[in-house]
Amino acid sequence: MASQIQANAQKKNAEYASNFKEGHLALPPAKKYAVVTCMDARIDPAAAYGINLGDAHVIRNAGGNARDALRSLVISEQLLGTNEILLIKHTGCGMLTFKNEDAHSVVAKNLGAAGQQELSGLDFQPFPDLDKAVEDDVKYLKASKAIPDSITVSGWVYDVETGKLKLLV
Amino acid sequence: MASQIQANAQKKNAEYASNFKEGHLALPPAKKYAVVTCMDARIDPAAAYGINLGDAHVIRNAGGNARDALRSLVISEQLLGTNEILLIKHTGCGMLTFKNEDAHSVVAKNLGAAGQQELSGLDFQPFPDLDKAVEDDVKYLKASKAIPDSITVSGWVYDVETGKLKLLV
């Protein structure tokens, strides 16, 4: 039997599909760019960042982390023709609220020795300073030999309380 | 000077922010679930999967890959209280169209020795069979010691031509 969450996805999707008219869109993003942003539940990238269906790749992970996104970004650029990256972190991010040792303590407590072992040495990649984290990730992408200099990279902060997006770097 | 892509994000966001009324939402997802899906430009998870702002973490990468999402999923569950995962891949995925050696050839050609070295040994994680890839990722998550048995995991296929979502496993 479907869970409540699964049943909600099925019901809402049936409404979406019944009005769906975008089946003709091509695989490569029409506007040739990729967005890297956080998985945070308070962010709707399409609406907040003005992305129309078919226009851009949207990569999301905990923190809007550039290193985590590298495999996806290389596929986006080298195989699917994008040439610009918007790296967008946000205010009130969960990654500002803990340190690696806190996460590993919680894992040890909740997942026991086997879980601890599976995640041993993992960098959860929290950050103590939002603007600096954006700047660092932009630097990382610009310095990476996997991202050619022809790719435009910008760094942004999205404010989850006002809905405002600010170009930082 | 802002690029066209950057200027579009600024303009569209100004409209979005001027009508924004969701600044009160809490950091932990209200409906306590996480979605893992592809970065593909033809997918709008909020609309297609029925996710209201604030309800769920949305993790996106090339292929809707579970391994790539593990760091984010552990943070989602262990630090932010989610207890269900929807893993959603889709028809017409770019990951169905190449093999690891193809991606590494393109990298060698376009990024030269330095890029090749930086990405040496990287598994781009393409897959030849869509349903099997969904099943494999669900199996991986269920077997992972980093994901406790109390977490409900389901696997889905989204059809980019019809907008229809199908529960697979």
At residue A1 the predicted structure's pLDDT band, cuts being 50, 70 and 90, is confident
> Long-range contacts: B12-19, Cβ < 8 Å, 24+?
B12/A49, B12/A50, B13/A48, B13/A49, B13/A50, B13/A163, B13/A164, B13/A165, B15/A50, B16/A47, B16/A48, B16/A50, B16/A163, B17/A162, B17/A163, B17/A164, B17/A165
pLDDT at position A140 is: 98
Predicted confidence band of residue B60 (pLDDT cuts 50, 70, 90): very high
Contacts of A78 in chain B (CB under 8 A): 103, 106-107, 110-111
pLDDT tens-digit readout, A10-44: 999 999 999 999 999 999 999 999 999 999 999 99
Residue B46 predicted with pLDDT over 90? yes
Domains located in chain B, CATH noted:
25-167 (3.40.1050.10)
Region B136-157: mean pLDDT is 98
Burial of B70 (0-12, 13-18, 19+ CB in 10 A): buried
Tens of pLDDT along B70-109? Answer: 999 999 999 999 999 999 999 999 999 999 999 999 999 9
| pLDDT grade for B115, boundaries at 50, 70 and 90 | very high
- Model pLDDT, residue B138: 98
Q: Answer for the pair B78, B148: CB distance below 8 angstroms, yes or no.
A: no
First to last CA, chain B: 49
The string of pLDDT tens digits covering residues A65-120 is 999 999 999 999 999 999 999 999 999 999 999 999 999 999 999 999 999 999 99
Which two three-digit tokens encode residue A77? 């650029």
Percent of chain B with pLDDT over 70: 100
| Contacts A140 to B, Cβ<8 Å | none
The pLDDT value recorded for residue B3 is 97
pLDDT, average across residues A123-139: 98
Interface of B with A in 44-103 (CB under 8 A): 44, 46-50, 53-62, 68-69, 71-72, 74-76, 78-80, 84, 86, 92, 94-95, 98, 103
With contacts defined as CB-CB under 8 Å, which chain A residues touch B125? 71
How many CB atoms lie under 10 A from the CB of residue A32? 18
